[in-house]
Chains A and B, each alone.
Chain A
Amino acid sequence: MELLKLETRASDAMAVPSDLVIAACGYERRATAILHSRLRASRQRVAFAFEEFSDSARRLANEVSYRKANFTLLPLSGEDFEGAALVFREYLDPGYAPPDVISVDISSMSRVWYGAIVKELALSTRQADVIVDFYYYPRRVLRAVTDEAPAEFTGPVVGFSSVSTPNRPIALMLGIGQDAQRELGLQELVEPSKTIAFYPDRAFGYTLDEGRRLFPNASSKPRPYERVQYRLEDPGFVFSVLESIAHGLAEDWRVLFISVGPKLFSLLGFLLHVRRPSVSVWRISAGTRRVPVDVAAATPRLSVLRTYWGAGVAMA
């Protein structure tokens, strides 16, 4: 299917019934935020349940909540792209009564999982169009959380690699977050000749002095490094900015998209690759070495990105 259109939805979009809800039962209390909202009339409710850290108290409590809300729990590793893709494929095109509207809460999902969902949508040969609403509950930031664990994985997300011939330098579109060390390390690893850093505005609680953190040597002269601030509550607009920038870069650069920032920004990277396969999407993850951190949802804040998929022609 093609990604036909996408737009920001008002945060009361949960009032709209969906045929299928997919969420993640993780080890943070944010995972249950969706259960407290209006999950009206959704026929099917599915939650990927992290196999990792399955004995953490929060994870067990979340599991109880999900079962109470009539969710089917599907245990999966957070790194299991194929497993997530397979499950979603079966729900997306079951052979009869396919869902017309799907809600996906990515807030507590691993990037691999919702990457698999986006990839399946792009590869699906389903005849009927489908609307997929992606929900994102920003986390309530009480303090900067830095995961000091070394990277267990750094590289392309399965399904989102361009494998472009190395005949041009790299332009890095870097979604920055709370971990300056990772951002610095990534820069050293991929050696981009140009970096565009994207950082969220303060509306959702992100307060970053990203310039200083990225370049702790305050004396450094400005290098080919640009900053773009974006509004997390308007992902549709942010996507159009990203697409425009990627388009402008494509002629002279190999574009690499990496987000260590909010998960919603990573989702935009996956969607960008669907529209522009020359953009490679990478991730960096501590995998099983990360320290699970329990964060709460910054309710009532909620971002909803509505995407339209079908066999038609994509709209700019």
Chain B
Amino acid sequence: MTTASLYGAFNARWLEPDEVAKTFVPVPEFRKVVQTRHSLLLGPRGCGKTTLLKMLTDSAQAAWLTSRPSEARTFPVPNFVAVYVPSDTKWSFELESIRKEVPTSFTVAERVQRCLVALSVTSATMQAIADFKLGEEQERAFCIDLVKALNLGSTHPRLSFLIAAVEALATQVRAALSTRDVYTIDAVLAALPVSVRASLADALLFVVRLLRPLPKGARRRRQWALCFDELEMAPQWLQTELLRDLRSTDQRLLLKLTWTPIVPDFLRLHAQPGADYDVVRLWNSHVPDFRPFCRMFAERLIKDRLGEEAKSPELLFGRSSFARDEAPKEEEDAYARGTEVWDAFRTQASSDRHFATYLKRHGVNPQDPSSAPPEIRDRVLRKVKPIVLLRDAFRKSSGGRSRKKRSLYSGEDAIYAMSDGNPRWLAGLLNDLLDALLKDLQSRGRKKFSLPMRASLQADVLEAASRRMVAFIRAFPVLQGERYETTAGVLVDIVDTLGKRLEVELLGRDFNSDPIGGFLVDDSLPNLVRREIERGLLIGALILLSEARSGMPDNLRGARVRLSFMLAPVYKLTFRNFRAVGLSGLLGSAAHGQRRFPVR
């Protein structure tokens, strides 16, 4: 399914289980999610949380086993029945807005939210049971019990009819809500089955309890997993209820919940990671960590799009000297005489005496960097390579570099780096690149494309994606109910301030071998700004930097963050994590300054 949204081009939410299984690139974290334990999946939007939750369902597992059995068999099978409860931004924002529909009673508003979510859980549970393909008699007996228990009147005893009847109950609630009359709403809520007025766990278990005897597919599995997507965007009472249940809930119930990269303060007080639940970290901070995943993902997507014409990502997009971070003592010499890198080092050394001095100080001949011994290249040249290439492309003193400017952000590794390892973003970028490639081919009247794809065409696509990211950050609303007095307090301004500062660091007059690349969330930052940073982590505008691939991420206080590499073309950034400095110092002056619109 393609969509108008760049990143939505790959959104597991609306894919059928077999389609999810088809595009699924297994990640090591999936082993943890499959465990018969509560899990909290942490990561920004698009990082694959929905895919992992959906892959727990019986239908996705079956499709995976059928389509790629050798791969599927290397992973454990869930020893529970997964009930996937869908969610999205629209649903989350509209649930939240119910408080404004009933401004005179928060209690009634919360009850409406609870009933609507519980009805959704009830419906999802029925769907999971329908996937067992019960025998006709068993389905009929189960449905008769359910109709009675849920007070669904004369609904025909088939699961599909019951699911429709539950949706009709939700419609009644919505109709009552539209009257904005507390008494009308109250009356409708009071008539609903008791199970959807209690906790969400009750909504699930109430349905499951009536399923006797257990169907063949569920007999050996004694637990049911409530897979609740986008909890991070849900109303606060719902977050509190489900997170509290991580500590203690019905033995038959498992919780698989999603959250932002920062574990909520509330949870720290009530449940212990490792003991009560597993934390599953689903983002990466460093390009080399996510490169293998990206390559496997890209290979599958290209094969899917181009069929027999498919080429490897490296052949199709070419190499990127700028984005590629060579491993120490890598065989191919990126600094060899005549290469793009060698040329850039020489040019910069001749036009920037600070840079020439830097090279000399480290024992490198500015006129022939390739003559440096391998260990010096690894230690000195490798560190500054992207800065030199960036300056070579964008510094005016370099002169006549428009071709380099037009192609710096291109190549296989640049694509991977810009995605930050986020599958939805990576799919969006790849889809747009392939679209551009095919259209270019068509406009030139050719049948076969020449390899690699033109760098300038790639750069156009990647820059457009970067600008859309800025537009997205700007459209993401400030915290509801909060009014900001200072311009610098809002996410898009924070991002813009930091982006421009990094640009100065990298492209300023004097060469700087140790530029700022990250930011410390220090204690003196106002609370509101800290919350904006958290929102930035949620939508992927900011990336939390930490070394550990697993385990509890640090508290936001004292955490290191960086701008998403998706923003690199807009702010002329490299794809490296350089040193971090305190945010309060950087934002402090901006907070008292003038409005700095337009944002780039």
Contact = CB atoms under 8 A, between A and B. Distances in A.
Interface of A: 81-82, 119, 123, 146, 148-156, 158-159, 161-167, 169-170, 172, 181-182, 184-195, 216-217, 219-221, 223-225, 254, 256, 277, 280, 282, 284, 288-289, 291
A158 B177 CA distance: 11
A79 to B, nearest CB: 10
A256 B88 CA distance: 13
Contacts of A220: 432, 435-436, 439
B471 to A, nearest CB: 4
B480 A155 contact: yes
B183 interface: no
B98 interface: yes
Interface of B: 1-8, 11, 13-14, 86-91, 93-98, 100-101, 103, 116, 119-120, 123, 167, 170, 174-175, 177-180, 432, 435-436, 438-440, 457, 460-461, 464-465, 467-478, 480, 483-484, 490-493, 597-599
B477 A219 contact: no
Contact of B14 (A146, A159, A169): A169
Nearest to B96: A155
Contacts of B477: 151-155, 284
Q: Which of B6, B94, B597 has the most CB of A within 10 A?
A: B94
7 contacts: A159-B178, A161-B97, A161-B101, A190-B89, A191-B88, A217-B465, A277-B175
Nearest to B124: A167
Q: Which of A152, A188, A194, A256 has the most CB of B within 10 A?
A: A188
A166 B461 contact: no
Contact of B472 (A167, A184, A289): A184
A149 B491 CA distance: 12
Given A151-B477, A165-B170, A166-B90, 5 more contacts: A153-B480, A158-B100, A188-B6, A282-B93, A289-B490
B464 A148 contact: no
Contact of A224 (B4, B103, B167, B491): B4
A166 B233 CA distance: 14
Given A170-B90, A188-B475, A216-B464, A164 B7 contact: no
Given A123-B179, A219-B440, A194 B89 contact: no
A225 B174 contact: no
A165 B14 contact: no
Contacts of B2: 223-224
B3 A191 contact: yes
Contacts of B440: 219
A288 B595 CA distance: 13
B363 to A, nearest CB: 45
A185 B597 CA distance: 17
Contact of A216 (B87, B116, B467): B467
B597 A166 contact: no
A310 to B, nearest CB: 18
Contacts, number: 191
Contact of B87 (A146, A164, A166, A172): A166
A162 B471 contact: no
Nearest to B8: A191
Contacts of A182: 471, 474-475
B460 A193 contact: no
Contact of A155 (B93, B167, B464, B492): B93
A166 B117 CA distance: 10
Nearest to B127: A167
A165 B97 contact: no
A181 to B, nearest CB: 5
B472 A193 contact: no
A185 B91 contact: no
Contact of A191 (B7, B465, B468, B490): B7
Q: Which of B177, B475, B480 has the most CB of A within 10 A?
A: B475
Contact of A188 (B5, B87, B174, B491): B5
Contact of B167 (A156, A165, A194, A288): A165
Given A165-B170, A166-B91, A167-B123, A217 B11 contact: no
Nearest to A82: B103
Contacts of A156: 93-94, 97
Given A163-B174, A191-B11, A277-B175, A221 B438 contact: yes
B116 A165 contact: yes
Contacts of A81: 100
A277 B180 CA distance: 14
B474 A194 contact: no
A123 B184 CA distance: 13
Nearest to B496: A150
A123 B180 contact: yes
A150 B490 contact: yes
Given A163-B95, A165-B119, A217-B432, A170 B174 contact: no
Given A159-B180, A221-B439, A192 B3 contact: yes
A123 B178 CA distance: 9
B93 A148 contact: no
Contacts of B438: 221
B590 to A, nearest CB: 14
Given A165-B119, A191-B89, A181 B474 contact: yes
Given A193-B1, A193-B14, A277-B178, A150 B478 contact: yes
